[in-house]
Amino acid sequence: MIYVDNAATTKMSDAAVNTMTKVIRETWGNPSSLYTTGQRAKEVLEEARAEVAAAIGAEAREIVFTSGGSEADNQAIRSAAELGKKKGKMHIISTAIEHHAVLHTLKRLEAEGFSVTLLPVHENGIVEASEVEAAITDETCLVTIMFANNEIGSIQPIREIGALCRAKGVLFHTDAVQAVGHVPVDVVLDNIDFLSASAHKFHGPKGVGFLYARKGIKLTNLIEGGAQERGRRAGTENVPGIAAMATALTEAVSHIAENTTRLTVVRDRLIAGLSEIPHAALNGDAKRRLPSNVNFCFEGIEGESLLLLLDDRGIAASSGSACTSGSLDPSHVLLAIGRVHDVAHGSLRLSIGEDITDGDVEYIIINVKEVVEYLRGFSPIWRDLVSGKKAFIL
Amino acid sequence: MALYSEKVMDHFRNPRNVGVIEDADGVGEVGNAKCGDIMKMYLKIDNDIITDVKFETFGCGSAIASSSMATELIKGKPVSEAMALTNKAVAEALDGLPDYKMHCSVLAEEAIRSALKDYERKQRGEDVPEEKQHDEDKDENRFCCCTTDTAGE
């Protein structure tokens, strides 16, 4: 199988598996216990915290371990909202292409009286810093903008946005779930106040993530019940998962430069190859995108059937089609970059991993071409487009 | 657990009766691109018997499988029997569909009914242009799921 759905999840690295099994076997104590077995687990936990912090330029005490990116997003936004409310600032700025962990939290806050501005993005999936700046008012307590988009890979001008938020005294959160371990992230240089990350996106285990909160910023507890994580997140820590996350992150960060160089070449070859398909279009910016992300819309076909047939040919990919999500609407991200429903249903996302070979790339291009052509062959929409009864959109 | 039954996958991978009948006696098209499903059925009818049927579908795996199964269920059958085909019969013949995909079987039922109505109109000598064979707004209200607020992933 050629696995090109690394934005959904990644395979754990051998080093991370080794760390995890070792901790499960040897350091199974409760880090809150005072005897030696517990304190050994505490050491493992704190070493992992220091390791994770170092990977993003933070200090250990600025890291809170969570169950993953969604929890970190929830906690960061809730915390900033509480702080804002105390000062009478109840306006939050975000974008139309955020993950639902952010969008749904904002929806909830709106119901609680906050006003939310969801900035539109350009056709390339990017919001410029000047547009964020123009939306900031005296009431704004938080700007929350994702580092890199999970569907179309567009990378936002995070450093600039962070700088202007800092200058205006507005807290800045970034959902960096797709970025950490894949592109350079430095919370100090990038002027970030809160950052969310998830281990299983960088070859760590599922069910573990972390929230970075700049020192001095008070976090709101989402889970009550104990003094773990210095009172910021109750519940006995997932020590094996956390330790494995630290191993995976250190490994991923140490390979960012070489992976970026190689994957960018692979990505651009895939983009060039798939661009040969008539009436197809790349989604997202050609250059300001993750080195691992390729996303296309193919007119006249539907994404789920494309995925199922690619699966038959040994290719595991993803789509923003309604039918692939269990929901019946196509991806909000594709709609936000201006793709109409008709073509948004025909999208394909390939998120490549470091193990991809040149042979895989050529195999993918040939098979996507064949399957798209096959499905178009009995698509009534395609017939109408080709016969001129309907106008091509792409 | 697999997303679809073996039968759905079989009809999806090897759809029966795919294509177009140029001199069809009845043609019906339902669904809309906005929702991600369009089915078009072509019927050849001789002496009240459906002698041939072909389909074209834009849609997900279950939409393609439902179209394929529906054509098999009516081929060689009298018009009255085809008219009575239900979405439930299509879904059952496929060994079931996931709940949120049941609308695909509804589309198959409606596509066949739409083609049969077109045939009946032609029999009565009414000359209806192809694109007016069905009321798009009505179809949209009936089948379009885009207007439903689904909670997402």
The answer to whether position B142 is within a domain reads no
Residue B131 is predicted with a pLDDT of 52
| A308 contacts B36? CB cut-off 8 A | no
**Cα–Cα distance between A92 and A107 in angstroms, integer?**
11
Cα dihedral across residues A5, A7, A8, A12: positive or negative: positive
Residue B129 is predicted with a pLDDT of 59
The answer to whether position B13 is within a domain reads yes
**Cα–Cα distance between A282 and A275 in angstroms, integer?**
7
From the list B36, B56, B57, the residue facing A321 with the nearest CB is B36
The answer to whether position B113 is within a domain reads yes
DSSP label of B19: S
Average pLDDT, chain A: 97
Cβ-based contacts under 8 A for chains A and B: 91
pLDDT tens, position by position, A79-134: 999 999 999 999 999 999 999 999 999 999 999 999 999 999 999 999 999 999 99
How far does A266 lie from chain B, in Å, by closest CA? 29
Is the pLDDT at B150 greater than 50, yes or no? no
Least CA distance to B152: which residue of chain A?
Answer: A327
From the list A308, A325, A380, the residue facing B61 with the nearest CB is A308
How far does A378 lie from chain B, in Å, by closest CA? 5
Is the pLDDT at B151 greater than 70, yes or no? no
Query: CATH number of the domain that B77 lies in?
Result: 3.90.1010.10
**Cα–Cα distance between A105 and A91 in angstroms, integer?**
14
Among B17, B38, B40, B58, which would you mutate to test the A interface (most chain A Cβ atoms within 10 Å of its Cβ)? B58
Residue B144 falls in the annotated catalytic set: no
Q: Does B125 reach chain A within 8 Å, measured CB to CB?
A: no
**Cα–Cα distance between A199 and A205 in angstroms, integer?**
6
Q: Does B17 reach chain A within 8 Å, measured CB to CB?
A: no
Class of domain A14-254: alpha beta
Q: What mean pLDDT comes out for the span B110-120?
A: 97
Q: Do domains A14-254 and A255-386 have the same CATH topology?
A: no
Q: Does B59 reach chain A within 8 Å, measured CB to CB?
A: yes
What is the band of B34 on the pLDDT scale with cuts at 50, 70, 90?
A: confident
Residue B104 falls in the annotated catalytic set: yes
The answer to whether position B66 is within a domain reads yes
The residue segments making up the domain with residue B72 are 6-123
Q: Does B61 reach chain A within 8 Å, measured CB to CB?
A: yes
Where are the domains positioned within chain A?
A: 14-254, 255-386
Please name which of A4, A1, A2 lies closest in space to residue A295, comparing C-alpha atoms.
A4
Q: What mean pLDDT comes out for the span B106-123?
A: 97
Evaluate whether A54 touches A210 at the Cβ level (below 8 Å).
no
Q: Does B35 reach chain A within 8 Å, measured CB to CB?
A: yes
Q: Does A342 reach chain B within 8 Å, measured CB to CB?
A: yes
Find chain B residues with C-beta within 8 A of A100's C-beta. 152-153
Residue B135 is predicted with a pLDDT of 44
| A327 contacts B150? CB cut-off 8 A | yes
Please name which of B108, B126, B116 lies closest in space to residue B78, comparing C-alpha atoms.
B116
* Calculated CA dihedral for residues A262, A268, A271, A273, nearest 10 degrees: -90
Residues of chain A with pLDDT under 70: 324-328
Total structural domains within chain B:
1
The answer to whether position B110 is within a domain reads yes
Class of domain A255-386: alpha beta
A306, A318, A375, B32 from B59: Cα distances, Å = 10, 16, 9, 10
Q: Which of residues 293-322 of A touch B (CB under 8 A)?
A: 300-305, 308-309, 312, 321-322
